[in-house]
Amino acid sequence: MKINNIITVTIGICSLWLCVSIKAQELPQIKHVVVMGFDGLSPDGLAHANTPTFDKVINEGASTMHARSVLPSSSSTNWASMIMGAGPEQHGITSNDWEKNNFVLPTIVKSDDFLFPTIFNDINNQIPNAEIGAIYHWGGFGRLFEKSAVDYDINPKNEDETAQVASTYIKSKQPTFTFIHFDHVDHAGHAFGHGTSEYYKSVEKADKLLAEVMGAITSSPMGKETLVIISADHGGLGNGHGGETLQEMEIPFIVWGKSVKRNFNLEFPVYQYDNAATVAFALGVKMPMACIGRPVKNAFIGFNETDDYPIAKRFTAPIILPKAESYKRAGGLFFDEAEVKISGAGDVRYTLDGTMPSEASKRYTASFKVSKNTVVKSAMLKEGHVVSTVSEAFFRIMPSNAKPSVSYEIFYLSNLSSVPFLEKIRPNEKGYCFEITSDEIKDKIKENTAVRFKTKLFIENEDTYGFFTRSDDGSILKINNNEVVNNDGDHGVKEKGGTIHLKPGTYPLEVIWFNGGGGGWLDVYYQTATQTKQILPSTLLSE
């Protein structure tokens, strides 16, 4: 009997100790959280700009450069996902056009009318007397949260004022939760292009602003009890974003402060909606059941979650020369022949028929020449497996005596948000080019510009043909006056396709494309069951 009592007491004590241990482990004892979001900040920006403050915070905290945005990779959708702990499928904010009086997909649950509950609201409802602040450079952020949940709500006129106002607020109020939004990096991406020297300068400016806010945090009484999360809404490609490329989708996610591991690489996936869940976890706040975000617990001391599925190590992909620039794909248009060079370390394999590289593919050892239209794909292999993303290049070869066979008409209009009806409008400029692309006439493209391309398409074999436009903004492709591709709308670079069955012959081909503002792009692709997908070659076109 005594033995049983001893065992029972022992089990009880162990259970109590285990519960206390788990409870202590689950609550990092953080009293303040500051989230800083830099609009348009990409991992590439941090890798190539001089950023001593970001580097220091990364070294002193936990981070990943492979966190992912939600689709579409646009600002409103991703800022909403960041503060709501949910994706667009739940909160319904599917584009920058979203407003409480203009939406397509309603929210699943709501706090304010038409608004999915945000972390601002969760903290306000669950932590008594919580001080909550939102300081945001982009005014559009202010429509994404509940005004009644926030004590300090201000939209500064620029990034410098944003940092100054946020720093003063932190030092004077020592808030429970502060959200700070900077917009200038995204401005540089749109104005000059991601990956440009001007873009990197904007990232370096972000580093100085980060230093100012971090100084306010560490010098205030709340400094030792604060968690800081630094992230972005999206990256970018060329002068825009909104698409599905890694350049647009991958974002940094950096965690620093109390209870955070030092110099720790977060290997397992982090998603945009995990941001709010991590804030909630740090402050002991319960999230709505409709949320899909999970706290990034591995960032904190004492947590080492694992998974049965290993994370694939991603190696740098080979670069096919001439390399891709902005939206322009690698390769290009050449006369008679082209020299193909591939830059990459290790076991680099390639194919010339559009198939995916494998161990059976040819190993790259030296440059080579191609004299016909060729799709080159290349990847790095290790132990017989592809361990990088696959690089792709499109080489189009024309005879040296070829003449441009695509006519274009340029229209300078106003307030464009969709492909315009051009039949009764006189073009401002006319000319000819070799391919249906904005690249050949890029110096003529302004804001609110529409272009109509016309040519004739030669079909040698009867087949079902797939055609695709990849454009920013909208585009429509017609063959024999039949609409085959409708990629209309005000959007970043997006690809859409359609099919048409064609018999041997020559058909009129027309593409109308518009650029509403910022950077624009257009190129056109085709494929068949036996012909790999590729940029529509000039060899199929005639005047």
pLDDT value for 326: 86
The domains of the chain are located at: 28-299, 319-398, 406-542
Q: How far apart are CA 408 and CA 426, in angstroms?
A: 13
Global confidence as pTM = 0.82
CATH topology for 28-299 is Alkaline Phosphatase, subunit A (3.40.720)
Dihedral pair phi/psi, residue 441, rounded to 5°: -125, 25
494 close to 470: Cβ distance less than 8 angstroms: yes
Strand stretches in 130-225, DSSP E: 132-136, 152-154, 177-182
Assigned token pair, 106: 């309603």
| Domain 319-398, CATH among 3.40.1710, 2.40.10, 1.20.120, 2.60.40 | 2.60.40
Assigned token pair, 323: 């390399």
3-state secondary structure of 415: coil
3-state secondary structure of 92: coil
Q: How far apart are CA 420 and CA 343, in angstroms?
A: 43
Would the CA dihedral through 404, 406, 407, 409 be positive or negative? negative
pLDDT tens, N- to C-terminus, the chain (543 residues): 444 554 444 444 444 444 443 344 455 689 999 999 999 999 999 999 999 999 999 999 999 999 999 999 999 999 999 999 999 999 999 998 899 888 889 999 999 989 999 999 999 999 999 999 999 999 999 999 999 999 999 999 999 999 999 999 999 999 999 999 999 999 999 999 999 999 999 999 999 999 999 999 999 999 999 999 999 999 999 888 888 889 999 999 999 999 999 999 999 999 999 999 999 999 999 999 999 999 999 999 999 988 887 776 778 899 999 999 888 999 999 999 999 999 998 999 999 999 999 999 999 999 999 999 999 999 999 999 999 999 999 999 999 999 999 999 999 999 999 999 999 999 999 999 999 999 999 999 999 999 999 999 999 999 999 999 999 999 999 999 999 999 999 888 889 999 999 999 999 999 999 999 877 999 999 999 889 999 999 999 998
Tell me which CATH code domain 406-542 carries. Answer: 2.60.120.1560
Angle at 130 between CA 21 and CA 138, to 5 degrees: 115
Summary count for the chain: helices (H), strands (E): 11, 28
Dihedral pair phi/psi, residue 280, rounded to 5°: -60, -45
Q: How far apart are CA 324 and CA 376, in angstroms?
A: 13
